[in-house]
Structure 1
């Protein structure tokens, strides 16, 4: 497996980390609008700096052209997002003098790493 170094004119998103999966999408113009073709997975980021990143890339994977849109995804096992805490207490008040109905209240619950 080869590596490829991608250099950017602007700082890379602060969320990009070593281990993230890097993708690219070729862009073009059709009818005055920017368009994008299908997404191509390059590989896993191995080095991330402010203006460049290095990633593994398969020998048969086409290389991105200049101007390709670069994006990334995180491993969901290590980078879960959600509410953090042990409990919540909620108080709801209706200050109206007319009748009101509450149709739904919901919450998000998940098991955190222990």
Structure 2
């Protein structure tokens, strides 16, 4: 069984729902925020069969461990961890025009924009 992880924030949750909806397990949203970007994510999850749980902001603060959750937190299955042994298979499956960015020793993910 895959490990469950927590992700939060509008952009991170949107990316999960668009790219890997099969990984979604639970969705928690604040009762206090009712804007369109948040509602769109909630509706998308509902269309996929996930029933959102509306909770107070303090509950989201705890689940996000103080991170900027923007009113939404999801529990999802952890993404599979690939190794260099998986590289050949990945390139073969994706075709000749595959572009891969291989990074090592990245200590601050906010610096990825400089790559």
Give yes or no for TM over 0.5: no
TM range (shorter): under 0.3
Structure in which a larger fraction of residues adopt strand? 1
Give the TM-score of the pair, scaled to structure 1.
0.25
Give the TM-score of the pair, scaled to structure 2.
0.25
User: Based on CA coordinates, which of the two structures has the bigger radius of gyration?
Assistant: 1
- Identify which of structures 1 and 2 has the higher relative contact order when contacts are C-alpha pairs closer than 8 Å and 6+ apart: 2
Structure in which a larger fraction of residues adopt helix? 2
